[in-house]
Structure 1
Amino acid sequence: MATPSLQDGIDKAGSPIRLLWQPDAEPWTPEVVEREYAGWRQEQAAWHEGVALLNLSHHMSDMWIEGPDATRVLADHGANNFEKFAIGQAKQYVPVTGAGHLVTDGILAREAENTYVLSGVPAAQHWVRYHAEKGGYDVGFVTDPSSAFRPGGGDPKLFRYQIQGPLAAELVERVFGGPLPETKFFHSTAVTLAGRPLRALRHGMAGQAGFEFIGPWGHAAYVHEAFLAAGEPLGLIQVGALAYTTPSVESGWIPSPVPGIYTDPDLLEYRTYLPLFGIEGKRPLNGSFFSEDIEDYYVSPYELGYGKMISFNHDFLGRDALEKAKGEVRRTKATLVLDADDVRTVMGEGQDPGFVLTYARHRVENAAGLVGVTMQSASIDPVGTVLAQTLIDAEHAAPGTEVTVVWGEHPGPGTDPEADLGFPRIRATVQPSPFNEHARALYRRDR
């Protein structure tokens, strides 16, 4: 029996929405890693106040792209500037459809003149590989799925450990016997640890300083233990799967937006190429915002704040649409600070609700009606409430604007999207995105 495609799933369900809508869907958390080590509150505090160790080795999918046409295929199907892409540099890759809708993003690192690795959720990887095969580009691929989807199990090819927090630099100096070479943000440098080669990518999350250390899996255990031992006097805390999902809410990154691929007739062949049992067919939609039209969930890279990454110095798929859309952006990214008393009432029945995480699309309203939709919401203990990364109409995005979040699960097809279902409202205040001032003002400037 042939493996069902994404288009098969859409046809059987009757529409993309009927395929993807799952009220009360469990939120994604990283695979393999323990849910908590010291407790999610202490783990969040660690990267704000001390030093934290995060294990990214298992939940990211990697695809190596190598060959004479590696740069060309990526540039033909990505909006980034490839004229200024140094070996050792990483960028947030921005592929869009012909209509200018984001496919999804990923982290693209250049390892050599004709070699890149694209990491993250695999939607962008599927996009690049499909177009490379269809277009006859002289390029080859090696893929390493996340540990949850690796055929036959086994270990990943690479380890990835992040060291984050105000004491990150001190910990790194303890491990390596001194400071690392000065490195620009999102650039990497080659280092060794007891003769073991690895790369140090200068990184940061929630505005805190840090590095991501990447190397062959065979060295993973040694490197991990070296950081744990050197970090003990500094109060190093390992971060579990729950807390790991939350820094994006502070740092302004919206993870895994809906790929804009489900409706375009020109992408029928692509939807037939994609397997149903992949991220495009199985990443659920839920929340109080509901529409029968999947295009109401599509996003523009401009809405996500990726405008500075877009370069019109080359031709690429979706170029004309992005040029037109540049002056027509209706929504912008903002952080909603949910009222702490309302959070306790609605989510905790009057008590502390504990850990909250959801990727649900919840309605954001004012007296006139719908003005935005949440993209990810999570408890941020150092802030003392739940924050929500949100796309909101630009005229309502000024810091201090008061709105309400409709907290509930629309049942989906068969019920009026605008029906009053009696869901509770949570008061919220609009604040900038990134919420963290350091992340907003400093740590992205070297990109």
Structure 2
Amino acid sequence: MENPLFKYRNLEEILRAVGGPVKLLRSSQIGPYMFPVNAPEHTNWRDEQRAWKEGVALLNLSYHMTDLYLRGPDALKVLQKVGLTKMATFPVNRGKQLIAASADGYLVGDGIVFHLEQNYFRIVGPPVISDWTQFHAETGDYDVEIDRDETVSFRPGDPRIYIYQIQGPHALALMKEVTEGTLPEIGFFAIGDFQIRGKKVRALRHGMAGEPGFEMFGPWEDRHAVMDALEDVGAKYGLKKVGSLAYPTTSMESAWMPHPVPAVYHSEEMKPFREWLTPPHLEVLGSMGGSFYSEDIKDYYMDPIEVGYGPFVDPKRDDFIGCEALKKRAADQRRTKVTLVWNHDDLMKVIHDSLYADPPARFVNFPLAAYSTFHIDDIRHKGRHVGIAQFSGFSANAREFISLAVVENELATPGTKLTLMWGEETMRRPTIEKNTLREVRVTVAPAPYFEKVIKKD
């Protein structure tokens, strides 16, 4: 059965027809963001989580992300317009975070941009950041060629390139051995070239879960040769392949907000973008769930400052979207990103009530308890709303059930006791069973939960 939204031309028309963004997103029939093709588990998700903290993990990112390619003399100008980070200089063989804000300073989305060769860039990440960048490249007066390789969730066929990550304390030793002496010295967020079993490979040096690692990529036809080599050599180091259950939990430990509600639904400045977005886009089809409920879509938004991107904002530039608004937000930051650790007794009670109580609590999936594309839970202090939480799930490394959240500054000190409301009573979707809200005691902890070591090896 075809989605009824496909009869409309664009997001703007859809919002008028259904009665606004909250009704649209809350009534979406789809569940959480999918990580297709990869097996849910290769061993078990607990050991797969432990691998990126204690040993070495292999993650296959080839299928679930969108790749947008920009080529031409104005390609960097597009990125400078969209991105708030330092881009006055962007040499070849470097990577940068591409973080985008709305004109009024809310977070639109983020990803990674690779400078592959002179005036040739690849933007990779969730579809939102590619959509926003492509819109400006197409509608602005830029001399740039645009090419796009969509996530396989949105189109048939194979990806153009493989993307493999090697992460963990033994990542560097494994990479030195598997490259047989061809691994160059690669600085943090730099791109290096080397060979694996005669195949040319490029890699960005970074870390996914707070541990050192490499993100390798190359032609799709080389995928088996490179994967086989990594597994063969990796056996010596206890390498674990990470499945689609464990993979998204890396964001909880690294404190990356993976799917914030994109700030595209609320203003006249965003109207041209909404008119550009046709129905087969995540901003149109995505779902919004969780215990937090408001009729105002802006209440679901986050901003780049509060999610931890303040140090990335380039104070010397005034040519990116949202520049003036972000200066004001930085000067008057209201919320701070934190990790919330669930009370063990309350977690066990929610699990019990989800199975045996009438009416039940909402079920708790493991390792990641996500039921929508954009998940927003209500955080309270003494009955008052004080923040919102996104992903919640279990970390075998922390041996805790944790949530990533933004809360009011005065409540962001580690050890502070708060309450997370668990459930979804309003405008339930098919992915959510009948349930009633439960109060879960949570304790504030740092975000990221573990100290990052990716720049220290």
Give the structure-1-normalised TM-score.
Answer: 0.92
Given candidates 375, 379, 390, the residue that maps to 1:375 is: 390
Distance change (3 Å), C-alpha of 1:444 and 1:326: farther
Residue 170 of structure 1: aligned partner: 173
Amino acid at match of 2:100: P
1:316 aligns to what? 320
| Counterpart Cα distance in 2 of 1:103 and 1:362 | 19
Q: Is the contact between residue 97 and residue 318 of structure 1 (CA under 8 Å) also seen in structure 2?
A: yes
CA distance in 1, matches of 2:252, 2:194: 31
Q: Which amino acid aligns with 1:216?
A: P
Cα drift, residue 364 of structure 1? 1.1
The answer on 1:28 being equivalent to 2:33 is yes
Partner of 1:357: 369
Query: Do the aligned residues in 2 keep the contact of 1:23 with 1:412 (CA within 8 Å)?
Result: no
Equivalent runs, 1:11-50 vs 2, <5 Å = 11-22=16-27, 26-50=31-55
Q: Is the 8 A contact 1:376 1:389 kept in 2?
A: yes
Query: Does the 8 Å CA contact 1:344/1:353 hold for their aligned counterparts?
Result: no
Relative distance call for 1:348 and 1:180 in structure 2 (3 A) is farther
Query: Aligned equivalents of 1:369 and 1:235: distance in 2?
Result: 48
Equivalents in 1 of 2:252, 2:120: separation in Å?
A: 32
Deviation at 1:286, TM superposition (A): 0.8
Counting only pairs closer than 5 Å after superposition, residues 241-390 of structure 1 correspond to structure 2 as: 241-314=244-317, 315-349=319-353, 354-358=366-370, 360-390=375-405
Which whole-Å CA distance do the structure 1 matches of 2:143 and 2:456 have between them?
35
Q: Distance in 2 between matches of 1:51 and 1:320?
A: 43
Give distance in 2, aligned partners of 1:305 and 1:227: 34
Distance in 2 between the 1:27 and 1:149 partners? Answer: 14
Q: How does 1:121-270 map to 2 (within 5 A)?
A: 121-150=126-155, 153-178=156-181, 180-270=183-273
**Deviation for aligned residue 1:425:** 1.1
Shift in CA distance, 208/297, structure 1 to aligned 2, threshold 3 Å: same
Q: Any conservation in 2 of the 1:101–1:260 contact (CA below 8 Å)?
A: yes
**Amino acid across the alignment from 1:45:** R
- Partner of residue 454, structure 2: 443
Structure-1 separation of matches of 2:456 and 2:296: 37
AA matched with 1:364 = I
| Partner-residue secondary structure (3-state), 1:142 | strand
Deviation of the 1:84 alpha carbon: 3.3
Contact (CA 8 Å) 2:336, 2:412: kept in 1 or not?
yes
Query: 1:22 touches 1:286 (CA, 8 Å); kept in 2?
Result: no
Correspondence for 1:432: 446
Q: Return the letter of the residue paired with 2:408.
A: D
Structure 2: gaps (5+ residues):
1-5, 356-363, 429-434
Q: Which residue of 1 aligns with 2:89?
A: 84
- Equivalent residue for 1:54, pick from 55, 59, 64: 59
Measured in 1, the distance between the counterparts of 2:71 and 2:108 equals 22
Matches of 2:227 and 2:246, distance apart in 1? 19
Is the Cα–Cα contact under 8 Å of residues 103 and 261 in structure 1 kept in the other structure?
yes
Q: Tell me: CA distance 1:149–1:350, structure 2 relative to 1, closer, same or farther (3 Å).
A: closer
Shift of the 121–353 alpha-carbon distance from structure 1 to 2, 3 Å rule, reads closer
Q: Cα distance, 1:24 vs. partner? A: 9.6
Q: Is the 8 A contact 1:361 1:374 kept in 2?
A: yes
Whether the 8 Å contact between 1:29 and 1:242 is mirrored in structure 2 is no
1:95 corresponds to 2:100: yes
In structure 2, what residue type is equivalent to 1:377? Answer: S
TM-score (norm 2): 0.90
Find the aligned partners of 2:29 and 2:143 in 1 and give their Cα distance: 45
Structure 2 match to 1:407: 422
* 1:354 to partner: Cα distance: 4.4
Number of positions where the alignment pairs a residue of Structure 1 with one of Structure 2: 434
Q: Match for residue 3 of structure 2? A: none
Of stretches 188-197 and 239-248 in structure 1, the one that deviates more from structure 2 is 188-197
Structure 1 letter corresponding to 2:369: L
Q: Deviations over 1:99-157 (max 9, x none)?
A: 1122101111111221111111121222222222222210011100011112xx22111
Task: Report how far residue 167 of structure 1 moved.
Answer: 1.7
The alpha carbon displacement at 1:362 in A equals: 1.2
AA aligned to 1:428 is V
Equivalent-residue separation in structure 2 for 1:96 and 1:403 (angstroms)? 29
Residues 364, 371 of structure 1: 8 Å contact kept: yes
Which amino acid in 2 is paired with 1:54?
A: L
What's the counterpart of residue 359 of structure 2? none
Distance 2:92 2:413 in 1: 39
Q: Report deviation, 1:350.
A: 9.6
Q: How many percent of aligned residue pairs carry the same amino acid?
A: 38
Q: Retained in 1: the 8 A contact 2:197–2:225? A: no
Deviation at 1:206, TM superposition (A): 2.1
Kept in 2: contact 1:8–1:276 (CA 8 A):
no
| Deviation of 1:347 (Å) | 2.4
Instruction: Give the C-alpha shift of residue 445 in structure 1.
Output: 8.3
Displacement of 1:25: 6.2
- Alignment partners' CA distance in 1, 2:302 and 2:387: 12
Offset of residue 22 of structure 1: 4.4
Q: Once the two structures are superposed, what CA deviation does each residue of 1:279-301 show, in whole Å capped at 9, x if it has no partner?
A: 11122111110011101112211
Native 8 Å contact 1:251 1:436 kept in 2? yes
For 1:315-363, what per-residue CA distance to the aligned partner results, in whole angstroms no more than 9, with x for missing partners? 1221111122211211110000111222122125599974342263111
Give the letter for the 2:74 counterpart: D
Change (3 A) 1:25 1:363: farther
| Equivalent AA in structure 2 for residue 298 of structure 1 | Y
